[in-house]
Amino acid sequence: MDCSFIRAYNALIKAYVSVSLFDSAVDLLFRSERKGFVPHIFTCNFLLNRLIEHGKLNMALTVYKQLKRFGFHPNDYTYANVIKALCKMGNMEEAKDIFEEMSEAGVVPNAFACTAYIEGLCTHRCSAYGYQLLQDWRAAQAPIDVYAYFVVIRGFCEEMEVNKAENVFLDMEKYGVVPDAQTYGVLINGYCKMLKLCKMLKLCKKRLCLFTVSCCQKV
């Protein structure tokens, strides 16, 4: 098939997605199979991501399953999107199965996939398991980013386990992961809720000192 036609098809799907015309984008995607091709993987991932961001989780999973029937080969970002959708729906076992599917396909999970699953656990008040998984993946040298630590700290704070949240924060520093502003913010908020005002003020002071040093280095 003419490459220019396929490029135009990809561009049209992206255009529909960009203005939130998801039904039109999905219809066009499915019609491509009848024409004998599947749109570029970046186009498919873009569609899946936007569907999930707009809360259209069932539609995203339907698109994924249909793409698989078309012979579509997901990459790490595709799988990560599916894991995120399943976790948002509370289908943690199905999300876990996607990791096995990735392994069978020879695809290595990226930081987005790992963090999405950890966040799903923490959102459903399983922060202890989420933190254990983070530690296991870190030991296995899986890609763990600062956001993964943030969601665990936030999860513990929401479960009123601020001491455990503090331990995760200290763990970050131990392994050279630099906390960002939202990580400081969620722990400070956790201290406030538990009326641990001395610790809250100490952490605020530490954050202010780091911010001052950072600003001075940029001058």
> Of the candidates 205, 200, 207, 161, which has an alpha carbon nearest to the alpha carbon of residue 182?
207
How many C-beta atoms surround the C-beta of residue 91 within 10 A? 17
Residue 33: pLDDT band (50, 70, 90) is confident
Measured distance CA(212)–CA(93) in Å, rounded: 45
Higher pLDDT, 92 or 218: 92
- The DSSP result for 127-182, as a single string, is HHHHHHHHHHHHHTT----HHHHHHHHHHHHHTT-HHHHHHHHHHHHHTTPPP-HH
Fold matches, 1-109 and 114-219: yes
pTM above 0.85, yes or no: no
Evaluate if residue 179 carries a pLDDT over 60. yes
Alpha-carbon span 204 to 202, nearest angstrom? 5
Domain ranges of the chain: 1-109, 114-219
Cα separation, 43 vs 179, whole angstroms? 33
End-to-end alpha carbon distance in the chain = 56
The H-or-E segment that residue 192 falls in is: helix 181-193
Is the predicted pLDDT of residue 133 greater than 60, yes or no?
A: yes
For the cut 90, the answer to whether the pLDDT of residue 167 exceeds it is yes
Residues 6+ apart with CB under 8 A from 14: 43, 46
**Mean pLDDT across 44-71:** 92
Nearest to 30 by CA among 53, 52, 55, 47: 47
Average pLDDT (31-55) is 88
Integer Cα distance of 190 and 158 in angstroms: 8
* Domain covering 1-109, topology: 1.25.40
CA distance 23 to 34: 17
Q: How far apart are CA 90 and CA 162, in angstroms?
A: 24
Compute the Cα dihedral for 173, 175, 176, 179 and give only its sign.
negative
Output the CA angle 33-38-39, nearest 5 degrees.
130
pLDDT digits (tens, 9 = 90+) for 183-219: 999 999 999 988 888 888 888 887 776 544 343 344 3
pLDDT class of 91 with cuts at 50, 70, 90: very high
- For 88, counting Cβ atoms within 10 Å of its Cβ (0-12 exposed, 13-18 middle, 19+ buried), the class is middle
The CATH class of the 114-219 domain is mainly alpha
